[in-house]
Amino acid sequence: MNETKILVIDPDETSRTFLANILRKQNYTVSEAASGQDGLQKIIDFTPDVITCDSALNDLSAEAIIIKTRQEIRYGNTPIVVFSNQLDSEEMDRILKAGANDYFGKSGQALMGFLNNISKLLVDARVKQSEELKGALAVFVSAKGGTGTSSLCANIGMNLSRFMTKSTVALVDMVLPIGSLALITGIDESSNFNVVEVSLQPPEKVTPDYFRENLARPHDWLFHLLPGSPDPGAASSFNVGNMHQVIQTLRKTYDYVLVDLGRSFSRISLPIIQEADVIVMVLSNDVSSVSLTKRSLDYLITQNINSNRIYPILNRAVGLEGLSKAEAEKILGMEIRMTVPYMMSNLTLANNQNTPIASKFPTDTTNLVLKQVAIEISQAAIKTRSEHVAKG
């Protein structure tokens, strides 16, 4: 039996079995799904190497399947080929835009074309995959303190775990001299396991198993946490030199690694910022935050950081007064990708009770924004990798 697994999603039993049987005759391992929902479930359970999907499903659109699959780092590059009963250029446009690799009308000739192309689809996907053995790295930075960087890092991490259900997420608190993610998530701070301790370990001890055994699992939050420095005294012994390997090993262990760097563009944080797939820059709507952010952006560009990787978030931390999004964009010379609304005392309340916003205030519209940010960060990370692969 060929180890290559192909999932055939098609509500029409005759055409589904027909394609599945041809593939089985060619020794592929085949699984079938009669609906979009069943297809999405089988993408998780069967982990196909190639997906074929009929363009007319009864429950979901083919685009929805493609978009959902492309969002998650684990399946982001799985080839998807769509077959349609009505070769239609508008439909083809939509489907290819959503991220399908190929679009065919249902015919004998198209089927041959698909069969001949399977090995090429697999080679392309494997090249991308070799990059993706590493988890996505997103760093959270701000140019000014108190802009909500840590609260957003924690709550966006929570949303990644909630919506990328099969992926694992780890947060790292690298804010010096004192981290705050332990406080926000309410983990036991008496433990000595924190970023400073980890940085002092001999490199051979810092393995995926070491992290799996030791990372904290905050109650109510669906991610793992490497807590930050507990006090300025501890921070002074921080061994910066080991952090590159620490982050690399975390990326091998978890699908998404989110690092809170706080207000830091230093020799400690710069190599991690340079390595990141996505740089989330949190700014608030006061003039000083926006102008300091502008200066930090200019600095990052001089450090050879591609502005495509920067994802500015305007957090209305200081209330309704202050600059508008358009005014802030004008100063920055860059598009702001998302605006987080002012939550009055709700965020402070959720933080004080160590609860995610999603659990404490499930109907707050901020949850929709945070979910969207989580999805976009995942997509941006996938995009950065494919650009990397394209460059060779």
Ligand X SMILES: Nc1ncnc2c1ncn2[C@@H]1O[C@H](COP(=O)(O)OP(=O)(O)OP(=O)(O)O)[C@@H](O)[C@H]1O
Q: Which residues lie closer than 8 Å to 227 by C-beta, 6 or more apart?
A: 173, 179, 181, 182, 187, 189, 191, 193, 194, 195, 216
In the complex, minimum distance from the CB of residue 284 to Mg ion, in angstroms, rounded to a whole number: 13
Site string for ligand X, 339-368 (x = CB under 6 A): -x-xx---xx--x-----------------
Residues in contact with ligand X, counted by CB under 6 A, come to a total of 21
Q: Pick from 31, 77, 151, 159: which binds ligand X (CB under 6 A)? A: 151
Q: How many CA atoms lie within 13 A of 175 on its CB side?
A: 25
The span from the first CA to the last CA of the chain, in angstroms, equals: 33
Using rule CB under 6 A, residue 150 touches ligand X:
yes
Site of interaction with Mg ion (CB under 5 A) = 149-150, 180, 262
Short-list 183, 177, 208, 220, CA closest to 195: 177
3-state secondary structure of 261: strand
Using CB distances below 5 to 8 A depending on partner kind, what does residue 77 bind out of Mg ion, ligand X, none?
none
Using CB distances below 5 to 8 A depending on partner kind, what does residue 229 bind out of Mg ion, ligand X, none?
none
Using rule CB under 6 A, residue 317 touches ligand X:
yes
Using rule CB under 6 A, residue 262 touches ligand X:
yes
Identity of the residue, 84 or 293, whose beta carbon is nearer to Mg ion in the bound complex: 293
Identity of the amino acid at 53: C
In the complex, minimum distance from the CB of residue 243 to ligand X, in angstroms, rounded to a whole number: 18
Q: Pick from 119, 120, 146, 365: which binds ligand X (CB under 6 A)? A: 146
- Helices 108-132/13-25 angle, 10° precision: 70
Using rule CB under 6 A, residue 147 touches ligand X:
yes
3-state secondary structure of 69: helix
Using rule CB under 6 A, residue 285 touches ligand X:
no
In the complex, minimum distance from the CB of residue 182 to ligand X, in angstroms, rounded to a whole number: 12
Q: Pick from 316, 360, 371, 383: which binds ligand X (CB under 6 A)? A: 316
Using CB distances below 5 to 8 A depending on partner kind, what does residue 119 bind out of Mg ion, ligand X, none?
none
- Region of 59-67, 71-79, 145-153, 383-391 interacting with ligand X (CB under 6 A): 145-153
Using CB distances below 5 to 8 A depending on partner kind, what does residue 351 bind out of ligand X, Mg ion, none?
ligand X
Identity of the residue, 323 or 382, whose beta carbon is nearer to ligand X in the bound complex: 323
Q: Which residues lie closer than 8 Å to 237 by C-beta, 6 or more apart?
A: 196, 200
Partners of 278 in the beta sheet? 138
Q: Give the separation between CA 323 and CA 329, rounded to whole angstroms.
A: 10
Using CB distances below 5 to 8 A depending on partner kind, what does residue 303 bind out of ligand X, Mg ion, none?
none
146 backbone φψ class: left, alpha, beta (φ>0; ψ -120 to 50)? left
Q: Which residues lie closer than 8 Å to 154 by C-beta, 6 or more apart?
A: 171, 181, 184, 185, 221, 356
In the complex, minimum distance from the CB of residue 282 to ligand X, in angstroms, rounded to a whole number: 6
Using CB distances below 5 to 8 A depending on partner kind, what does residue 249 bind out of Mg ion, ligand X, none?
none
φ/ψ of 336, rounded to 5, equals -85, 125
Using rule CB under 6 A, residue 145 touches ligand X:
yes
